[in-house]
């Protein structure tokens, strides 16, 4: 389909908005700029998709966010802090009082076998 000489494409409108407002502007700001400057109403998804395509076209990469810290993989241990060690010792002492030292040793042996 042939383009008209005097009209500006919506992609060019988004490019102009990016040039004027920068990459960090919100979709609402782009939408308002395009409406005020060109008198054209563009949907937010259309602006967002055009902006994304323009980033790809220009080779702009963004850093991906890391996923939230979930459960650590088995065997991955972080450095033990003094408070962690003291809490562990306190817990073992409580077990010793409740079930006896021999039973605590037996539990530890059983756990370490796995």
Contact 60, 27 (CB under 8 A): no
- Rounded distance, CA 15 to CA 36, Å? 15
The average confidence (pLDDT) of the chain is 83
Give yes or no for residue 52 having a pLDDT over 60.
yes
| pTM, to two decimals | 0.49
pLDDT digits 0-9 by tens, 58-108: 877 766 777 776 555 555 567 878 888 888 888 888 888 988 888 888 888
Number of other residues whose CB lies within 10 A of the CB of residue 34: 20
Torsion of CA 37, 42, 48, 49, to 10 degrees: -120
Number of other residues whose CB lies within 10 A of the CB of residue 50: 21
pLDDT digits 0-9 by tens, 104-113: 888 888 888 8
Work out the average pLDDT over 7-14.
Answer: 90
């Amino acid at each position: 389909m042939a383009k008209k000489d005097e009209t500006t494409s919506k992609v060019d409108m988004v490019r102009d908005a990016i040039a004027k407002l920068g990459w960090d502007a919100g979709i609402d700001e782009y939408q308002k700029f395009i409406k005020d400057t060109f008198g054209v109403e563009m949907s937010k998804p259309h602006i967002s998709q055009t902006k994304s395509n323009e980033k790809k076209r220009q080779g702009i990469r963004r850093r991906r966010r890391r996923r939230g810290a979930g459960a650590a993989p088995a065997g991955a241990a972080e450095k033990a802090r003094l408070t962690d060690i003291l809490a562990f010792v306190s817990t073992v002492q409580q077990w010793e009082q409740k079930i006896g030292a021999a039973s605590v040793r037996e539990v530890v042996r059983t756990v370490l076998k796995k």
